[in-house]
Structure 1
Amino acid sequence: MRIAIVCIAIFIFSLIFPSIGQADPQVSGRNAVLIEQSTGRVLFEKQAHDKESIASITKIMTAIIAIESGKMQEKAKASRKAIYTEGSSIYLEQGEKMTIKDLVYGLMLRSGNDAAVAISEHIGGSEEGFVYLMNQKAKWLGMDNTHFDNPHGLDSENHYSTAYDMAILMSYAMKNETFQDITGSQTYLSENRTYSWKNKNKLLTQFYEYCTGGKTGYTKKTGRTLVSSAQKDGVNLIAVTLDAPDDWRDHISMFEWGFDNYNMETIAEEEPISYRFSQDTEAKSGYIQHEITYPLRDEEVSQVTNQLYILENAKQREEQIIGKNVFYLNGKQIAETNILQEDHGQDINHQSIIESFLSALQEVTGVSATW
């Protein structure tokens, strides 16, 4: 009887005082992070900045460098070193020539270590030369706690990253349409094979309908590692787990929690604004350059504030940018956009309308038009 009364009391209390949002997701991984793709906002983290071995999720970096090299249609020749690289393989034969494009598919879908070495030797001139490119790219992306020692992710004391850094890498890579196509492919048939490669990412192929891509990894020392992306109702999320025995469930749990708790809210629109330098001066006009959306919980929407920063000599400036509109959440800056002189804003809007019309005219008539 006492238990029943307690249960009823808890139920009534939950109706009167409903909890805001849900409890953080429970993950098996030693390290984990969930971010929103376009802004990089961290929605959930668990020891996300600890340096750890990462295994084959390394290949995300190998793939994006290969794609950006502009050599996807070139053929790489498989060396003896490539074919004898231990671990997962697409079974290249020594001397076999395969396009970089096919090798990247083999790299991402089947996690071919031989493909990783073949790519690195062709694009970097040597595996060491390619690793240099990987570390330069990591530095450029702000992956401050990352160091690569090889293009495939086999264990090495000098090969490590963090859950957060790998999320930043995946966020960058997913801006590339070719990478999106490759990581989002369930199967692929190489010109050199009579059978298709099936993607090892079971979130994509079996378990989660909103998954858009990712990369698996495993070594005995490192455990299971996983990077994945998902999209639902206009929200794009990236999840990373390191040393996670139940990683498929971890990622689904993080994604569902993220989708349930956050929406992409518009906090700024492209529109005219008025501003004053003081209450005694007349109102002046400007134009917000870009629309800004940001992932927010329902209760956070009203907590977003903004501050206009206008240059005092704005009216005399010839440049179109006269200031910034900066947005804050609980005192922390989360986004900003330029303020343009009003005539510049109108000119840009007018120009974009004309350009859209001319583009549509060209599609219909096949004749290029200028103005």
Structure 2
Amino acid sequence: MCLYAQRVAISNLAKQLLSLWIISLIYLPLGAQESFMVVEAHSGKIFAAQNSTVKRPVASLTKICTGVIATDWALATKQDLKKVMATVPDSVTRLGGANPLNLQPGQQISLSDALYAALLGSDNIAAMTVADHIGRDINNRRGKNDDPVWAFVKEMHELCRVLGMRNTRFLNPHGLELPKQQGFSTAADMAKLAIYAMRRPAFAFFVRQKSRTISVAGRSYVINNTNQLVGEQGILGIKTGQTAPAGPCLATSMDKDPVIRAKVDGTKGATPRRMVVVLLNSPDRFERTRSLLQTGWSQYDNWLDAGALVQDRNREILPVPKF
């Protein structure tokens, strides 16, 4: 081999090794690269965090926002999600991938069943169907003719803005990384969304179900919750997610009984307790979340016993607007 050919071969090998290294950084769910935040929802007190402001894909955790927009829309418009029928749009044919319910363009499914499929089973076509239907309604009410799914996504953007999720950009309702649709968020931003979402009773009802039977085109399907922690004591959701770029992700909410304490005036007060864990790109997301929950509760108890003092709100408290 001539010297030039050797140099070319070495250069190509170097490029391949560099490419593999970059792919490993972006795509492989290595424990050292995980991001997480552990926060008590009522106080906003952060008890653990790592890489929590690093922007990265969050896969189907995106559907938390989709579910919140859908349930808030139903509340605002006084719609019964069980009675509203949505039509599967033609645009789902561009998604590819799994289609566990065999949903086909033109078929109808109730918004309630579509949300169970999207939030419990992480069905991407169901999420698109929800977004398309609600987006059309939004367009009609505003006298616009925008792409219906994009009209829905713009509502997702608005919610992120109101919640102060400055490092988040959702580009579709399902979370798949598609050409020109590569969204991102952070563990801290997703914790804000998770806290807000679990304040919404309708949304919280969906994600705490261990399984649900739904109906599509006269056929019944049992949708099992992909969150293996649901059903364990106090676990009320929230959502799993996984793609090659995002790695295994999990957002979890756990309640404990309120703490009853005597007040200065002699009366008693109840302090509600809810721990939220957002874990991104972790190879053993369920066991890791169990460990982070244990850490969070232990630190929370110590913090409460010490008087629940906060020295630096900007560093210690995760602000989530209440509205």
**Could you state the TM-score of these two structures normalised by the residue count of structure 2?**
0.72
- Select which of 198, 204, 219 maps to 2:224: 198
Q: Which runs of 5+ in 2 are unaligned?
A: 1-30, 137-147, 259-272, 318-323
Is the 1:232–1:259 Cα contact (8 Å) retained in structure 2? no
Q: 1:58 aligns with which of 57, 62, 84?
A: 62
Please give the alpha-carbon distance, in whole angstroms, between the structure 2 residues aligned to 1:174 and 1:215: 11
Within 2, Cα distance between the matches of 1:137 and 1:91? 31
Q: Distance in 2 between matches of 1:297 and 1:245?
A: 32
Change in Cα spacing, 1:219 to 1:118, as seen in structure 2 (3 Å) is same
Whole-angstrom CA distance in 1 between matches of 2:239 and 2:93: 22
1:171 maps to 195
2:303 pairs, out of 296, 299, 311, with 296
Matched residue SS, 1:149 = coil
Per the alignment, do residues 57 and 142 of structure 1 end up closer, same or farther by CA in structure 2, a change over 3 Å counting? same
2:36/2:51 contact within 8 Å kept: yes
The root-mean-square deviation of aligned C-alpha atoms, in Å, is: 2.1
- Kindly indicate whether the alpha-carbon contact (under 8 Å) linking 1:30 and 1:47 is maintained by their aligned counterparts in 2: yes
Superposition pairs of residues 142-161 of structure 1, within 5 angstroms: 142-156=164-178, 158-161=182-185
Deviations along 1:100-137, whole A, 9 cap, x unmatched?
11111110011010011111111112111111111111
Shift in Å at residue 87 of structure 1?
3.3
Larger Rg: 1
- 2:90 corresponds, among 54, 66, 80, to 80
Structure-2 residue corresponding to 1:96: 107
Deviation of the 1:29 alpha carbon: 5.8
Larger fraction in strand: 1
**Scaled by the length of structure 1, what TM-score is found?**
0.63
Deviation at 1:37, TM superposition (A): 1.2
Q: From 37, 43, 61, give the equivalent of 1:33.
A: 37
Q: Give how far 1:28 is off.
A: 6.2
1:16-57 residue CA offsets vs partner (Å, 9 max, x unmatched): xxxxxxxxxxx7661000111122221110010111111000
Partner Cα distance (2:73, 2:131) in 1: 11
1:113 is matched with 124
Identity %: 29
Q: Does 1:127 align with 2:152?
A: no
User: Aligned partners of 1:153 and 1:108: how far apart in 2?
Assistant: 12
Q: Provide structure 1 residue ranges, at least 5 long, that are not aligned to the other structure.
A: 1-26, 264-294, 305-328, 336-371
2:57·2:182 contact (CA, 8 Å) conserved in 1?
A: no
* Higher RCO structure (Cα 8 Å, ≥6 apart): 2
SS at 2:241's partner residue? Answer: strand
Query: How many residue pairs align between the two structures?
Result: 250
Q: CA deviation at 1:84?
A: 4.7
Aligned equivalents of 2:304 and 2:287: distance in 1? 23
Identify if the C-alpha distance between structure 1 residues 239 and 88 changes in structure 2 by more than 3 Å, giving closer, same or farther. farther
Using the alignment, how far apart are the partners of 1:40 and 1:96 within structure 2?
43
Shift of 1:80: 2.2
**CA distance, structure 2, for counterparts of residue 209 and residue 221 of structure 1:** 32
Contact 2:55–2:168 (8 Å) recurs in 1: yes
Describe the SS at the equivalent of 2:112. Answer: helix
Higher helix share: 2
Alpha-carbon distance in structure 1 between the residues aligned to 2:182 and 2:224: 31
1:211 matched to 2:253? no
Q: How big is each residue's C-alpha offset from its partner over 1:131-179, in whole Å with a ceiling of 9 and x where there is no partner?
A: 1111111101111110111110011564100001111101001011111
Q: Which residue pairs with 1:138 in the alignment?
A: 160
Quote how far apart the aligned CAs of 1:296 are: 2.6
2:293 is the alignment partner of 1:255: yes
8 Å Cα contact 1:49/1:163 also seen in 2? yes
Q: Is the contact between residue 170 and residue 238 of structure 1 (CA under 8 Å) also seen in structure 2?
A: yes
Contact 2:176 2:182 in 1 (8 A): no
Quick check: 1:237 aligned with 2:275?
yes
Structure 1 residues 87 and 43, CA, compared in 2 at 3 Å: closer, same or farther?
Answer: farther
The aligned counterpart of 2:263 is: none
CA distance, structure 1, for counterparts of residue 242 and residue 155 of structure 2: 24
Contact 2:187 2:278 in 1 (8 A): yes
